[in-house]
Amino acid sequence: MHEEFEKTLFEINDGVATITINRPEAKNALDEAVRRDLDLAISHIEKGSQGDIHAAILTGSGDAFCAGGDISALKNSSGKPAAEMRERLRSSHQLMTRWYNLDIPTIAAVNGTAAGAGFSLALACDFVLADPNARFILSFGRIGLVPDWGALYLLPRIVGLQKAKELCFSARILAAQEAHDIGIVYRVVGSNEVLSEAKKFAVRFQSASSLSIGMTKSMLNSSYERDLKTSLEIESSAQAIANNSDYHKEAVKRFLNKEPSIFDWEKLSK
């Protein structure tokens, strides 16, 4: 554990960083202290993602993942100049973008309600594991706001434009199984097992090439914004870098010598 965190727990075990928003009395809402903690945690991960950290998990304490914006902060911000609110949200967007663009796999362990910006944070993860009782809700519409923290960008890319409009306009509750059926949740796990399953899932990436995963993730995250010609050029450059890595050379050597692979997802999943 790191003592410099105020309302978030942060630990690194077996190459996996786990961030736990620790405001159970407020359903892990995003106040200023939590935002600072998340920024600090991402900085730790960025420094360690070159070898010491292979994956990161985001979860919440108690019975909620994250309820989104803090109610008291929303009350205080109501009626303030638009420019002030815009700058505050831009700061939040920088935080979300840094998380989204980490060079390692990120996993949301959704143990309960993920509402508003909490839903957006789950969408910004590479994989979402959910408790059967987890609930997702883009609650912005209930209070006359627009979805933020990247939801308007991320959601249609995952579920399609029409379904994204429905979820944004209706602000309805989305159960874990339905979230799985439409592609938001990667897997619904056993009751009260979401964090342990997320850690098992994350540990699988220990023996993978951090270099190739990082470049692949970066290219996939921006794939909708590029034309084919540009994508192929970036792919060529990335492949040249990966081809010259020590990891690739060792993997080829093992293959030719009929030795076990460095990384075997199927074996690790058993």
Looking at per-residue pLDDT, the higher value among 248 and 85 belongs to 248
Q: Which amino acid is at 158?
A: I
**Length of the chain, in residues:** 270
Note whether 8-206 and 208-268 share their fold: no
* pLDDT given for residue 143 in this prediction: 87
**Is the pLDDT score of 228 beyond 70?**
yes
Reading the block at residue 205, the tokens are 């990436």
Query: With the C-alpha atoms ordered 201, 204, 210, 212, is the resulting torsion angle positive or negative?
Result: negative
Residues 40-63: tens digit of each pLDDT = 999 999 987 556 899 999 999 999
What's the start-to-end Cα distance of the chain, in Å? Answer: 30
Looking at per-residue pLDDT, the higher value among 182 and 270 belongs to 182
Average pLDDT rounded to a whole number, residues 75-88: 68
Domain 208-268 in this protein, CATH class: mainly alpha
Reading the block at residue 24, the tokens are 């159970």
> Checking DSSP bridges between strand 16-21 and strand 8-13, what pairing results, if any?
antiparallel
- Domain ranges within the chain, ordered by starting residue: 8-206, 208-268
Q: How big is the chain by its Cα radius of gyration, in Å?
A: 19
Looking at per-residue pLDDT, the higher value among 86 and 262 belongs to 262
CB 15 within 8 A of CB 52: yes
The upper half-sphere exposure of residue 212, i.e. CA atoms within 13 Å in the direction of its Cβ, equals: 17
CB 112 within 8 A of CB 167: no
CB 113 within 8 A of CB 135: yes
Domain 8-206 in this protein, CATH class: alpha beta
Residue 34: band (very low, low, confident or very high) from pLDDT cuts 50, 70, 90: very high
Reading the block at residue 86, the tokens are 């815009």
Query: With the C-alpha atoms ordered 56, 59, 61, 67, is the resulting torsion angle positive or negative?
Result: positive
| Closest listed residue to residue 28, CA positions, set 55, 9, 2 | 9
Cβ atoms within 10 Å of 199's Cβ, excluding its own: 18
**Is the pLDDT score of 122 beyond 90?**
yes
**Is the pLDDT score of 22 beyond 80?**
yes
| Closest listed residue to residue 96, CA positions, set 113, 80, 119 | 119
* pLDDT given for residue 2 in this prediction: 54
Cα separations in angstroms, 176 against 106, 179, 182: 19, 5, 10
pTM: 0.91
Q: Using N-to-C axis directions, what is the helix angle for 161-170 and 151-159, rounded to 10°?
A: 130
CA–centroid distance for 49 within its chain = 15
Separation of alpha carbons 196 and 109, rounded Å: 9
Residues 139-163: tens digit of each pLDDT = 998 888 999 999 999 999 999 999 9
